[in-house]
Structure 1
Amino acid sequence: MLIILSWKTFWAGWGTDEKALILVLAHRYPHQRMEIRNAYHHRYREDLIRRPESELRGDFERALYRWILDPADRDAVLANVALSEGKVDYRVIIEVSCTRTPEEFLATKRAYMARYKHSLEEPVIFARYDGDEINAKLAASEAEMLHHAIKEHEFNHEEIIRIVSTRSKTQLLATTNCYKDDHKISITKTLASNRENVLVDALQAAIRCLTVKEKYFVKVLRNALDKSGTHEDDLTRIILTRAEKDLRQIKDLYYKRSSVPLEQAVAKETQGHYEDFLLALLGN
């Protein structure tokens, strides 16, 4: 209640208290942020989500706005932005559809429909079993199907689409392991050497998200923090969406791959309240 009583002072006419916003919001779980949002609306007859848009600017505003959202609603917003900015950012659609649980993805589809009044067409995943059972014979057979299709450059082959879009994550991992054992190279590296169109990149990203998602997220972060220029949207998206899931493992793997802590890399490439907010989510 103290948070709600003092909340208006964060947006006082003499300037927004960004440090107080970060201190409160960066350390609250989704249900707590929703409780704060509901209490704020009840007391002030105003949606808290609209305040960052009117009081803040730039990367910090976008990050804070998306952090306040319910995770499913946030994914709906991310998907809509990826689908509506001229060139579709297939990576975001793949992340949302392939790294969330079936229940989380269903919640995202519902949030998307509620927010945008039409369905989210999922180009990578339609229905996926979430069990842990493995059919070793099937894995070996489908590994050969994938090898043949890729060898023939048939990247839109219906068998590739069917295998990647319907097999459970556990079964697909068994298939990719068979592929690597049989051909002495991972399927993602094989695809990387055959990049000819967007579909190849999409297949590679989908398989990584489904089988080695922490490695995929580290790759996105390393690219986002590349010396040629920081890609703030990718950086923000990964930190926000993984902060309450597997960010610790991602940080550990980032350090192993880069020999630099993720916090140090973020601090070097960002600044101001945006930097402070990301570092707070990273555990600083």
Structure 2
Amino acid sequence: MSYPGYPPTGYPPFPGYPPAGQESSFPPPGQYPYPSGFPPMGGGAYPPATSTGYPGAGGYPVPGGYPSPGSYPGAPQPGGAPSYPGVPPGQGFGAPPGGASFSGYPQPPSQSYGSGPAQIPIPGGFPGGQMPSQYPGGQIPYPNQPAAMTQGTQGTIRPAANFDALKDAEILRKAMKGFGTDEQAIIDVVANRSNDQRQKIKAAFKTMYGKDLIHDLKSELSGNMEELILALFMPSTYYDAWSLRNAMKGAGTQERVLIEILCSRTNQEIREIVRCYQSEFGRDLEKDIRSDTSGHFERLLVSMCQGNRDESQNVNHQMAQEDAQRLYQAGEGRLGTDESSFNMILATRSFPQLKATMEAYSRMANRDLFSSVSREFSGYVESGLKAILQCSLNRPAFFAERLYYSMKGAGTDDSTLVRIVVTRSEIDLIQIKQMFNQMYQKTLGTMIASDTSGDYRRLLMAIVGQ
């Protein structure tokens, strides 16, 4: 089955902006998840271990192999809680003005906009008040989102009540002491503590036993379980910076990692990542990007790592109309492509503003912006531009898709699976799970259970809340 004007895969583009007025059919929910636009998932592994007891990176391991307590920005300080900046729980994308909704695509739960039950937009929100005819019978390609949502944070991991770092450190010490390892005891602690609390446990362990917790865990664990545990004990921004460094060191570049992190993080997160990258690895992130990428993809990533996107929640509809016209003239409306116009608009406009621009583009061009990006671009710059558009519509759905393709088919991209589960566990993993279920008609836990095994599976399942 194919769709007029769409890529040769025959799949419609990213949902939400099909042209109105075409009589065609759409496969029933779950039959075809929307295409990722990312290159096939590869492997990707942690750097080799060094004598310091922490993953090395060809000359950039931090002293001692891991940020020592108190030395990393925001690390636990004596008598105080970690101060490292993070994303406020439940921070969302901001509401479209005047109660407008982006039609046909599942929206983030309404906690991101305020209070009240979350709803899938009704067809009337589509330009012209009609459901896109691309879906037979006006059918939305995803099931309805649950009306009731857990209030407050949308992470599956929350700070433990009555937290005692000394007690947890003792539990971990007993779990690793003597012959064999009590993996379940480790899982019970690690999966039920926030990242800040894990940093305190790490500091308490060294204070109590004069030993490095990470070194002991590495000696007791191996493979994917080791990778997952180490990721959980890294300060969150250090983990992002480390992932970017690992993606660019040595031969080859893991472009999909650069796209995932730089195109989805907030300004504050990106600026902290850039500072951490410099302080911990002694390297300039922008220079590394320039040396490892090229062309329009390089320019897009350099724009992203500035952390200067407009984050206002107000939408200027006149600007949206002008931007839509400019994008059309830069692509569909001319021979060749003015890539700089796409880069400028997608790199600087706020996510709510980009939503309005995409709506205006669909009305004006009778084609959704995703389809136009597919026609005008290719390779990693296409993937990066689509990632920005996806995050502007529904960031949890973007990560749900990444998780799906990390496990789909033969083999598992464990590094992507670990990275997303860990980095989103305190931000929006609940929303990601709900989007995953709507988009693929199976739960995230079910797919993880079928693709992993042993203690690695048990820890992943504990984190995702299955």
Report the TM-score when normalising by structure 1. 0.92
Give the corresponding residue for 1:233.
415
Q: Are the structure 2 counterparts of residues 257 and 227 from structure 1 closer, same or farther at C-alpha, using a change threshold of 3 Å? A: same
Matches within 5 A, 1:179-258: 179-194=361-376, 196-258=378-440
Aligned match of 1:66: 231
The answer (yes or no) to whether the contact 2:264–2:388 under 8 Å persists in 1 is no
What amino acid is aligned across from residue 223 of structure 2 in structure 1? Answer: G
1:265 equivalent in structure 2: 447
Which residue matches 1:99?
Answer: 264
Q: 2:349 matched to which residue of 1?
A: 167
Q: For 1:91 and 1:124, locate their aligned partners in 2 and report how far apart those are by CA, in whole Å.
A: 16
Measure, in 1, the Cα distance between the counterparts of 2:335 and 2:215: 48
Q: 1:9 corresponds to which residue?
A: 174
Distance 1:160 1:236, change over 3 A: same
* Distance (Å, rounded) in 2 between the aligned partners of 1:123 and 1:210: 19
Deviating 4+ runs (over 4 angstroms): 152-156
Mean CA deviation greater in 5-14 or 161-170:
5-14
Q: 2:204 aligns with which of 39, 43, 52?
A: 39
Which structure carries more relative contact order (alpha carbon 8 Å, separation 6+)?
2
When residues 40 and 153 of structure 1 are mapped into structure 2, their CA distance, relative to the original with a 3 A threshold, is farther
Aligned to 2:318: 137
Report deviation, 1:124.
4.3
Whole-angstrom CA distance in 2 between matches of 1:193 and 1:161: 16
Across the aligned residues of Structure 1 and Structure 2, the Cα RMSD in angstroms comes to 2.0
Show the counterpart of 2:248: 83
CA deviation digits over 1:193-237, x for unaligned, max 9?
555332222222232234322221121111112123221111111
Distance in 2, Cα, partners of 1:90 & 1:98: 12
Q: How many residues align?
A: 284
Matched AA of 1:59: N
Give the superposition deviation at 1:113: 1.4
Given residue 38 of structure 1, which amino acid in structure 2 is its aligned partner?
Answer: A
The residue that corresponds to 1:123 in the other structure is 302
Residue 27 (1) aligns with residue 206 (2) = no
SS in 2 for 1:244: coil
Q: Provide the TM-score with structure 2 as the length reference.
A: 0.57
Structure having the larger proportion of residues in helix = 1
Look up the equivalent residue of 2:342 and give its one-letter code: I
Aligned mate of 2:329, from 129, 148, 153: 148
Whether the 8 Å CA contact 1:10–1:18 is kept in 2: the answer is yes
1:242: Cα distance to partner? 1.0
Gaps of 5+ in 2: 1-165, 287-300
SS in 2 for 1:129: coil
Asked if structure 2 preserves the Cα contact closer than 8 Å seen for 1:98 and 1:210, the reply is no
The alpha-carbon distance between structure 1 residues 98 and 77, as it changes in their structure 2 partners (threshold 3 A), is same
Cα pair 1:188 1:208 within 8 Å, conserved: no
Q: Contact 1:191 / 1:200 at 8 angstroms: preserved in 2?
A: yes
Q: CA shift at 1:281, angstroms?
A: 0.6
Structure 1 gaps of 5+ residues are none
Q: Give the conservation status (yes or no) of the 8 Å contact 2:313–2:352.
A: yes
More divergent stretch after superposition (121-130 vs 105-114): 121-130
Larger radius of gyration: 2
Contact 2:337–2:376 (Cα < 8 Å) also in 1: no
CA apart distance, 1:155: 5.4
Using the TM superposition, name which of 211-220 and 66-75 deviates more: 211-220
- Counterpart for residue 97 of structure 2: none
Q: Deviations over 1:80-134 (max 9, x none)?
A: 1122253322332233223222222222222211211112225341211211121
Displacement of 1:156 in angstroms is 6.3
Q: What corresponds to 2:215 in structure 1?
A: 50
Is the 1:90–1:202 Cα contact (8 Å) retained in structure 2? no
254-263 or 143-152, which deviates more: 143-152
Structure 1 position 244, deviation (Å): 0.8
Whether contact under 8 Å (1:95, 1:209) holds in the other structure is: no
CA, structure 1 residues 155+250, in 2 after alignment: closer, same or farther (shift >3 Å)?
farther
Q: Distance between the aligned counterparts of 1:77 and 1:153, measured in 2? A: 41
- Do the aligned partners of residues 241 and 105 (structure 1) sit closer, same or farther apart at CA in structure 2, a change above 3 Å counting? same
